[in-house]
Structure 1
Amino acid sequence: MNVRTRAMHAVAERLGRRGFELRRHPATRRQHVLTRHGVDLVLDVGAADGGYGTSLRSFGYRGDIVSFEPQARAFDRLRRTIAADPGWTARHLALGAEPGELTMNIASNSTSSSVLPMLDTHVAAAPSVRYVGTESVTVGRLDDEVAEALAGHRRPFLKIDTQGFEREVLDGGPATLAACVGVQLELSLVPLYGGGMLIDEAVGRMYEEGFQMVGLEQGYAAPTGEILQIDGVFVRPGTEV
């Protein structure tokens, strides 16, 4: 064991005694998946202020990104985030099963905002997070909104993080989903939003669409330590480059 390895073991041991774990960042594994499947376009649905796209860039993804964010304040932050990145575009839009207008519930922490009602399980897990207002948002269908982008790319990857509204996004994008080599999907282990899709339905749907799960990333955890949401990374077998 060399000096560097011994030092890493020592750090890991000290962290372990304090309840922490030293491990490879999940974004590193995700980037390996994107590279292996030759992803040249990421469709970022529920982009918030651009944290997901920024992570992609930080870990080596250089392809195009198209982000969708319906909240006005979050979209303003997203627009500033992407200002210097010519390969990253953003649209002020929600995505659902049908085009139209919907009322979004705005949460005190912004990232928990949803078209769907927040359930008591969410409130119990995060008492400081509440809905504090509403905002009318424009809704489009994924297939309608990304057709032009798909025409210029061969190997798209779809990420959806919409606080319980994932089913509706997928319902509006069957052609897009069929074109994708991979998907990252937020998976709820317990009901957090009224009518939201739970993990069993979501994983089953991905497998029915021809994808297999290849990775998990921890998402939202309660102060009690219980994990409430995770992200599943799925790929279509046989699409490696």
Structure 2
Amino acid sequence: MLRDIAYSLISAGYKIPKSVEEKIGRFSYQIYLAALLKKLRINCVLDVGANIGYFAENIRKLGYKGQILSFEPHPEIFPILQKNFKDDTLWRGYDLGLGSEDALATFNLNTYSELSSFLVPNASMPKTVNSCEVKIKALDSLLDDILTLVPEPRIFLKMDTQGYDIEVVKGASKCIDKILCLQSEISVRANYINIPSYLDALRYYESLGFEVADLFAAFRNPEGYVTEYDCLMVRSKT
């Protein structure tokens, strides 16, 4: 793959601009993801932490034609998401977060909406500018909705919740067997207070029967060190 070629060039002493390396990495990820969705015959994508719908729009461009359910609790961002999915009959959205139980929770709004979280950012992150109470639901409580839309779901669970991914999975105990693949943003260096470490996250997902398929750098600090990975995991023996 292009990513492997780039690493070979770097090892041979060639200097590749960081912007080019990042583009190669994203392209490699997209090609791999498209092949994985097809291989696993995924027919239902749960887009948790959807923001305005970047991920959903991207997988449509990659050729995915099945059902998409997007979840976004940010009150200012969800209306933009609605506009983006209004013409796609197999894409719908929910203005709530997912977690381990049905509840109300404080959502910390960041200047950069993608960094808003149920967790509090640490000193190295852009500061929270406001907060609000939002609804959280357990995925299990939405199972009937999913089964109505997709009677025999083969689910890909994509999570980008800024540290809340494990709580999302904890709320899916009754439907975990229907999740064939998941993507979780795992933290190597803590950007939020009390965020689970990447090792704890991997151990938890593995305890549920998932194994690592691949890791892609999601964010690097100014020194070039990876702070977060997008971790793709597949249910064993799918």
Match of 1:147 in 2: 144
Paired with 1:187 and 1:226, the residues of 2 have a C-alpha distance of 14
Deviates most, 45-54 or 20-29: 20-29
- Would the alpha carbon gap of residues 16 and 62 (structure 1) be closer, same or farther in structure 2, given more than 3 Å must change? farther
C-alpha distance after superposition, 1:150-185 (max 9, x if no partner): 462331111111111112111111122222111111
C-alpha distance after superposition, 1:74-133 (max 9, x if no partner): 11111111111111010001111121211111000111111111112x32xxxxx22111
Match of 1:3 in 2: none
Paired with 1:139 and 1:131, the residues of 2 have a C-alpha distance of 20
Paired residue type of 2:109: I
C-alpha distance after superposition, 1:3-49 (max 9, x if no partner): xxxxx99xx89x94434334643111011011000000001111111
Structure-1-length-normalised TM-score = 0.86
Contact in 2 for aligned 1:158/1:177 (Cα 8 Å): no
Match of 2:101 in 1: 98
Match of 1:160 in 2: 159
Paired residue type of 1:70: P
Percent identity of equivalent pairs: 28
Counterpart check, 1:176 vs 2:175? yes
Is the strand fraction higher in 1 or 2? 2
Deviates most, 150-159 or 66-75: 150-159
Contact in 2 for aligned 1:150/1:156 (Cα 8 Å): no
Paired with 2:183 and 2:106, the residues of 1 have a C-alpha distance of 25
Alignment of 1:14-163 (within 5 A): 16-19=15-18, 20-21=20-21, 22=24, 24-120=27-123, 122-123=124-125, 129-150=126-147, 152-163=151-162
Paired with 2:144 and 2:194, the residues of 1 have a C-alpha distance of 28
Contact in 2 for aligned 1:167/1:196 (Cα 8 Å): no
SS, match of residue 175 in structure 2 = helix
Paired with 1:97 and 1:206, the residues of 2 have a C-alpha distance of 15
SS, match of residue 234 in structure 1 = strand
Paired residue type of 1:138: K
Structure 1 position 237, deviation (Å): 2.9
Structure 1 position 67, deviation (Å): 0.7
Higher Rg: 1
Paired residue type of 2:29: P
SS, match of residue 220 in structure 1 = strand
SS, match of residue 233 in structure 2 = strand
How large is the Cα RMSD of the aligned pairs? 2.1
Paired with 2:16 and 2:179, the residues of 1 have a C-alpha distance of 42
Paired with 2:119 and 2:87, the residues of 1 have a C-alpha distance of 34
Match of 1:198 in 2: 197
Match of 2:237 in 1: 238
Paired with 1:156 and 1:226, the residues of 2 have a C-alpha distance of 32
Paired with 1:150 and 1:190, the residues of 2 have a C-alpha distance of 38
Contact in 2 for aligned 1:213/1:232 (Cα 8 Å): yes
